[in-house]
Structure 1
């Protein structure tokens, strides 16, 4: 079954008219861009009834969707300690992933000053060459 995905304008219309049911449906069944926009829309609509859908969305495969769901949960201002601990652990996890990506990108740009004459193989080759020049006794 091929579902038609709502456009950005449609989702913005749902946000303006506070259509929570449509946004929750889009968050459950849309493609990754639709899910992200629906989570951002639920952040602006701000209904506590959409907390279970947002909790399910924080485990999304796409990182941007789960971040949008986390932001929406944080914006709703839940007072439940379990939800607060889950969102804080998820935010720490996302931060850890971003830090790891930055650390991986740093060594690629770093240039090392290793000269040919400083390499161990070059030194050993020169030593062997010098020994071959000496007469055999």
Structure 2
């Protein structure tokens, strides 16, 4: 295995482990992971129909309909008639949802800041900061 192959495998493994640690640092509370995933799409990409969300998650429309209905019952999403096609409903996050997501992100950020501050030396912190643009470029490619 080449050095690049080894580095790629190690980076993938580390990324997965860090993602799990971040999820553990701010659990979703009463929400299921599928609900969290749907909210993520709506916050990042804007209002969507059940069909669009089902395609993103690669699940049946009926299954996604149940997930969206549960989020609506929790006050996390609200539906509005699609202005281009009145037969469709587009769902978007509510203010309560956006507040919950902001609090969850703040918890994860706090965990990461604390971990960087306590687990890395100042020199290592600078090395990590210098690597961020490179990781961003990989993520954006």
Q: TM-score, normalised by structure 1?
A: 0.30
Higher alpha-carbon Rg? 1
| Greater strand proportion | 2
Q: TM-score, normalised by structure 2?
A: 0.29
Higher relative contact order (CA 8 A, sep 6+): 2
